[in-house]
Amino acid sequence: MAEDVARADGTAEAFPFPERSRLLEGVRAYGLIMAMWVRSTMAYRASFAMTVFGDFAVTAFDFATILLMFSHVDALGGYSLPEIALLYGLSATAFGLCDLLLGSMDRVGRRVRDGTLDTLLVRPVPVLAQVAADRFALRRLGRITQGLLVLGYALVTLDIAWTPLKVLMLPMTLVSGAAIFGAVFVAGAAFQFVAQDASEVQNSFTYGGTTLLQYPPTIFAKDLVRGVTFVVPLAFVSWLPALYVLDREYPVDVPQWAAFLPPLVAVGCWVPASLAWRAGLRAYRSTGS
């Protein structure tokens, strides 16, 4: 992995290198495009600072809402504030990571509409990497920072009987959670080849998903909980592992070992998502403009 990163930093030589795998090519291209966007953002520094603050604040408001709720109650759905902070911190950080890396994928629909996707197709670089790095927004670090702060608050205030397994659970959850959200982003982008201006549907699952996961599963209707466990497996982003750490029962019937499944679920989500992406790309017909 270190090698990928080294090649991705934009210092490498001529392109393309046929012996390199598609994945490496993609990562390297991603890095180059990302660096370009970072440089361009930095041209307007005042604006950049404000947008970083904005991304920090927009998520901070989510947590502020929860704090305001807790100024009136001691528990929500049977969960205390630090417990909800753990759910919140895990889901917000995982989503923030994913949003930083893939958050611009909802622009695919626009590119299909205005025909600029064609430009990406003629370049000798994987299209997914180009789309993912399109308008790479470093400001999204604000979101991750906020998620980590709440997570830190939860870990400091919670009284958990830590075991090595529970400790390992946290980084595993963040990485797998980001990957699960990532699969949703890719699947959503694939859907935009069909419905070109329906990027908001994707928001329901990404932004909506992270909002849902910030609250304990006990407050939602059982059918909704089943839906996000078995149909769109967002529950594996934070609920199941966090409930294991908190020694809590999951409201619908799921064995406890399911808490260890997020990495497998992430892989399982990426298979259909990448197939959908390929199908979408193959089905793409240029507008010709």
Partner 1 sequence: MRLYAVVAAGGFRRYATYRTATAAGVFTNTVFGFIVAYTYTALWDERPQLGGYDTSQALTYVWLGQALLMACAMMGGGFEDELVERIRTGDIAVDLYRPVDLQLWWLAGDLGRAAFHLLGRGVVPMVLGALAFDLALPGSPWTWSAFLVSVFLGVVVGFAVRYLVALSAFWLMDGAGAMRIVSLAGLFFSGMLLPLNLFPGLLGEVARALPWSSLLQVPADVFLGKHTGWGLVKAYAFQGGWAVVLLLAGRMVQAAATRRVVVQGG
Q: Give the footprint of partner 1 on this chain (CB under 8 A).
A: 44, 46-51, 53-55, 57-58, 61-62, 64-65, 68-69, 71-77, 195-201, 203-204, 208, 211-212, 215, 218-221, 224
* Two tokens, residue 129: 């990497």
Cβ at position 218, least distance to partner 1 in Å = 8
Q: How far is the CB of 52 from partner 1 (least distance, A)?
A: 9
Q: Which is nearer to partner 1, 199 or 229 (CB)?
A: 199
Nearest to 235 by CA among 227, 223, 244: 227
- DSSP letter at 1 equals -
In whole angstroms, the minimum distance from the beta carbon of 259 to partner 1 comes to: 23
**Nearest-approach distance from CB 2 to partner 1, in angstroms:** 35
Structure tokens at 108: 């695919």
Residue 43's SS3 state is coil
Three-state secondary-structure class, residue 289: coil
Structure tokens at 43: 């041209």
Quote the CA–CA distance of 126 and 160 in Å, as a whole number: 45
Residue 155 or 232 with smaller CB distance to partner 1? 232
- In single-letter form, the type of residue at position 190 comes to A
Nearer to partner 1 among residue 50 and residue 267 (C-beta): 50
Nearer to partner 1 (CB atom), residue 15 or residue 53: 53
CB of 9 to partner 1, least distance (A): 27
- Nearer to partner 1 (CB atom), residue 4 or residue 218: 218
Distance CA 57, CA 49 (A): 12
